[in-house]
Structure 1
Amino acid sequence: MSSRTNLYLSYKRTNEMEELVNPLKALAEENNFTLVTNVEEANIIASIGGDNAFLQATRKTGFKQDCLYVGVSTDSLGFYTDFSIQDMKQMIHALQNEEVEVRRYPILKVTVDNEKPFYCLNECSIRSNVIKTFVIDVFIDDLHFETFRGDGMIVSTPTGSTAYNMSVNGAVVDPTLLSLQVSEIASLNNNEYRTLGTSFLLGQDRTLTLKVVQDGNDHPIIGVDNEALSIRHAKQLKLQLAEQSIKVLKLKNNSFWEKVQRNFIK
């Protein structure tokens, strides 16, 4: 950690947040960290807020490959936030005494109609924008796997499996299993439309293609993490794990499954 001292803080610029963050800035400088305002100069990017703030920080900074991301919570700890702003000294101590480790999290690459791809850390969702179902032809690599009719579909990474995916009864996936999870939102199964009817996992080298059937309801809402894309008309989504991943600084004694237990069982 000694060579990584350029620290960029990502947070909402409100008066309330400035009051919370100012002591952290002072403590960082006291411990020989250099605060930078240009993200390109950073080798540590600290997100201040919750999991949603962490998702925004990674996306807005372009999923930088030459730095470490760290999540600092202003409330309860989440899946991406291992540190609390209420205990800043513990965070500095952990950084300086090697009580942390670097974990790589996969990124989802989303290509809409063969345009420039988007990237996300949790999931990509495609949903009807009106109170009406729509139809998607689902391809796994070159195989036409099924034809879906319903409210939409969610494609998640393992770390995103505990978010939107879990709310539609998708499985929680260990982050060491590089995969995509495909989950349905209110599918219609009858003699004309038939789907697997459950979430399924695809290996890291698979490509999932979702082709929107043009039947008059072909202006779906496409979401990447917690942001909707401003695309009015989409015919096809191609989804695959990106070649790159992000490096996240985590406490050694706070594993993914400990977080699952803490958030959903205890």
Structure 2
Amino acid sequence: MNDHRRNLFFYYHQNKELNDKLESLFQLARDNDFHVVEDSREANIIIAVGGDGTFLQAVRKTGFRQDCLYVGIRSQNEAGLYCDFDIDDHDEMIDAMKNSEVEVRRFPLIETTINNESTFHCLNECSVRSTLIKSIVIDVYIDDLLFETFRGDGLIIATPTGSTGYNKSTKGAVVDPKLPCFQISELASLNNNRYRTLGSSFILSGERTLKLTVRQDGNDHPLIGMDNEAFSIRNIHDVTVNLSNQVIKTVKLKDNTYWNRVQRTFLD
């Protein structure tokens, strides 16, 4: 581990059992010349302790930092696509970081711009869904082409790493994160003589622009999901999605690839 990367910030949801385990980890870090800081802005390594959901929150709450590394630690005995380390194996993490047995993995982000005004980043996915007990109608543009008019419960736009989450539950493809792209999947589309969609997920190159125009028929403030947080924004006219030129840099064990994780999570 680079000697300049010594300031650690821990992001976690406090409870007594976890607090007790972390105290020994904090001390172990200090004993090995790492510094535990209270302000994430002072850190050059941000450590999320929990699971994949906690990791997503840590990245969002700390502003998708481009000048630091993110590390995921599992606090429960469960597989995680963002978490390489286990809370009960302190020595493995410290030894790996000290002895350069880790590598930096770069995960792509998407940029979501609402009404050409507010832009948000997403590491997993952005979803647009109806907040009413009725279907939502969305015109789907790829670059300047009106590709289809969707009617249904909503659409999911997933990054490659997000392809294993909400996207996969809708029968979307699992995508290698080394591919610069993003995927669009349908939620309960309605196909008839008036509305016709592709009926399957499709993947766009990172050079493409996706634009979703929401029909103003009562669904003018749909629910916008960004990773594992929901935003209800009034008067949604359009949502524009691009692959960001920014990435999230995470620490991974050298012998633990993305596909090792997928295999462990879904096939073991």
Q: In which range does the TM-score fall when normalised by the shorter chain?
A: over 0.9
Name 2:195's counterpart in structure 1: 193
Letter of the 2:201 partner, please give it: S
Contact kept? 2:138, 2:215, Cα under 8 Å:
yes
Matched, 1:135 2:103: no
Alignment partners' CA distance in 1, 2:92 and 2:79? 14
Structure 2 contact 79–265 (Cα < 8 Å) conserved:
no
State the alpha-carbon separation in 2 of the partners of residues 116 and 190 from structure 1. Answer: 34
Distance 1:247 1:141 in 2: 29
User: Matches of 2:11 and 2:120 in 1, distance apart?
Assistant: 20
Which amino acid is the alignment partner of residue 106 of structure 1? Answer: P
- Tell me if structure 2 keeps the 8 A contact 1:77–1:84: no
Out of 213, 227, 230, which is 2:229 matched to?
227
Number of the residue aligned with 2:63: 62
8 Å Cα contact 2:221/2:232 also seen in 1: no
Q: Deviations over 1:125-145 (max 9, x none)?
A: 011112211100000111111
Q: Distance in 2 between matches of 1:135 and 1:161?
A: 24
Aligned residues: 266
Question: Structure 2 counterpart of 1:29, which letter?
Answer: R
The match for 2:239 is 237
For the residues of structure 2 that align with 1:71 and 1:140, how far apart are their CA atoms? 35
Which shifted more, 199-208 or 230-239? Answer: 230-239
Structure 1 letter corresponding to 2:265: N
Distance 2:159 2:117 in 1: 22
* Structure 1 residue 231 displacement after superposition: 1.1
Q: Which consecutive unaligned segments of at least 5 residues does structure 1 have?
A: none
Match in the other structure for 1:50: 51
Q: Which residue of 2 aligns with 1:204?
A: 206
Task: Give the corresponding residue for 1:74.
Answer: 75
Q: Which residue of 1 aligns with 2:40?
A: 39
Post-superposition Cα deviations, 1:78-115, rounded to whole Å, max 9, x if no partner, equal 00000000101111011111111001111111111112
The 5 A counterparts of 1:96-135 are: 96-135=98-137
Deviations 1:116-169 (A, max 9, x none): 211110000011112211100000111111000000000000000000000000
Counterparts of 2:232 and 2:43, CA distance in 1: 29
Structure 2: how far apart are the matches of 1:182 and 1:56? 22
Between the aligned residues of both structures, percent identity stands at 57
Shift of 1:21: 1.4
After TM superposition, the score normalised by the length of structure 1 is 0.98
Paired residue secondary structure (1:238): strand
CA-CA distance at 1:261 after TM superposition: 1.0
Answer yes or no: is 1:8 the counterpart of 2:15: no
Distance 1:63 1:121 in 2: 9
Q: What's the RMSD between the two structures over aligned residues?
A: 1.0
Provide structure 2 residue ranges, at least 5 long, that are not aligned to the other structure. Answer: none
Indicate the SS of the match to 2:89: helix
In 2, distance between residues paired with 1:92 and 1:125?
37
CA distance in 1, matches of 2:232, 2:38: 28
Deviation of the 1:230 alpha carbon: 3.5
